[in-house]
Structure 1
Amino acid sequence: MFFVRTESFQQFIRLYPIVSIIVAINLVLFILSGFSTYIGSLVVGQNLLIAEGEYWRFITPIFAHGGLLHVLFNSFSLVLFGPALEHMLGKFKFILAYLSMGILANVAFYFLGNDYIQHLGASGAIFGIFGLYAYMIFARKDLIDSQSRQIIIVFIIIGFLTTFRPGINEIAHIFGFISGVALGPILIDRIRQTYY
């Protein structure tokens, strides 16, 4: 089973350092933003500011969150779905994929979203992870067991059912997912092992 976590805290950090580091960045940045509105204002995405040359805002919103439930839900999703991919892809490819999917989701919002809305959250990258699993389910069934396939399909369906409501960046969710599927042939097809 891909998504059952039986490791101790120390084992998890040792086995999945990239997932652990991303979660730590999410939490630290959330705490710092709570203490400093200046830090919070530096990390949110906003198209008008990006257009003025603040290009780091394609990256920083991936690690910034707007509330405790927001950061906990996205971090929990990463802890649940990230380790199997970090193991499969390796540390470098996993972080490259995670950042690429999050950035592509923010680039899509830059071209299609409201210039005046601030956006933040790891959801684009998380939906990118869902997209990688979706590619695996349809193109590389040998890499994922049937029970894990069922779990990820349910989470993808729930994810999209909860996407289209006020306050959710549906553009980032959709294009994060698309970017994950698109990266599938590049990243997943090179994997030769079966199951996790």
Structure 2
Amino acid sequence: MFIRNESFYSFRRNYPVITVIVAIHLILFVWMNFLPFGYLVRNIGIGFNPAVAQGEYWRLITPIFMHLGVGHVLFNSFSLVLFGPALEKMLGKVKFISIYLLAGIIANIATFYLGGLSYPPHLGASGAIFGLFGVYLYMVLNRKDLIDQANSQVVMTILIIGLVMTFVNTNINILAHLFGLIGGAALAPIFLANARPFYAYRHVHDPDEVSFNPNRWRKRRLNGATFQKALWIGFGILVVIGILIRFF
């Protein structure tokens, strides 16, 4: 469910929405930091509560796709590539982009109303990504038919890490993280109504890529020590990346 070993061709064919979102992340990042008039993009699109109060409501949406630091854009894009594909396949393209954007907008609305006019400028996809974790959290608690125990453990571990990092790291929009998570969990019952487990969906393969059968988790039991080792390696990588974000 969260193992990625597709070729670029296969990933692009199977998960077009995520591919486009990541492309937008990178294009805007390069434009904002290295191309002419990048400062105009920042000034027009960044989340800024006083501007929203003056009627610039597009700022509730545009910050979802904008990043300034290298670590910020890479971490959020990596998180989306790792945890987004299963939901894009289970929900379908329209539902996936809808819940992604709605969670991000809810996060920014919460920042506007609860942060107040003195809240500093903000940007990043974190609120929308936490919205995806909100969907997974709902699945773990109420739709166990859609996620197995091993993947439930991964989701809960990473979610706990993310919440801890939210309160530990500086310059984090705590409101966006929390309300993105709440928004995703609240919308999940509606969007998951007709969903099937990830392994039930057909995967478009590249003939040259290494094959991966998602049903292998059901055909054989993964050695407990191996799973635990892989889980904690992933844990360590995410923690290190999250800590490094503070220095970019």
TM-score range, shorter chain: over 0.9
Aligned equivalent of 2:176, options 172, 175, 187: 172
State the AA in 2 paired with 1:182: A
Q: Scaled by the length of structure 1, what TM-score is found?
A: 0.96
Counterpart contact for 1:98–1:129, Cα < 8 Å? yes
State the AA in 1 paired with 2:32: S
Query: How far is 1:153 from its partner?
Result: 0.6
Runs of 4+ in 1 over 6 A off after TM superposition: none
Aligned: 1:131 with 2:173: no
Aligned: 1:161 with 2:160: no
5 Å-filtered alignment, 1:6-155, equals 6-34=5-33, 35=35, 36-116=38-118, 117-155=120-158
Query: How far is 1:195 from its partner?
Result: 4.1
Q: Scaled by the length of structure 2, what TM-score is found?
A: 0.76
Counterpart contact for 1:63–1:121, Cα < 8 Å? yes
- Cα deviation 1:12-66 (Å, max 9, x = unaligned): 0111000000000011001111131111111110000011111110000000012
Aligned: 1:186 with 2:186: no
The aligned counterpart of 2:2 is 3
Query: How far is 1:115 from its partner?
Result: 2.1
In 2, Cα distance between equivalents of 1:118 and 1:194: 39
- Compare CA radii of gyration and give the structure with the larger one: 2
Paired-residue identity, %: 54
Query: How far is 1:114 from its partner?
Result: 4.2
In 1, Cα distance between equivalents of 2:14 and 2:170: 37
In 1, Cα distance between equivalents of 2:191 and 2:40: 38
Counterpart contact for 2:90–2:197, Cα < 8 Å? no
Gaps of 5+ in 2: 200-248
Counterpart contact for 1:18–1:95, Cα < 8 Å? yes
Counterpart contact for 1:102–1:128, Cα < 8 Å? yes
In 1, Cα distance between equivalents of 2:115 and 2:68: 18
State the AA in 1 paired with 2:154: I
In 2, Cα distance between equivalents of 1:90 and 1:38: 35
State the AA in 1 paired with 2:10: Q
Counterpart contact for 2:61–2:105, Cα < 8 Å? yes
Query: How far is 1:189 from its partner?
Result: 2.9
Provide the aligned C-alpha RMSD in A. Answer: 1.0
Counterpart contact for 1:101–1:128, Cα < 8 Å? yes
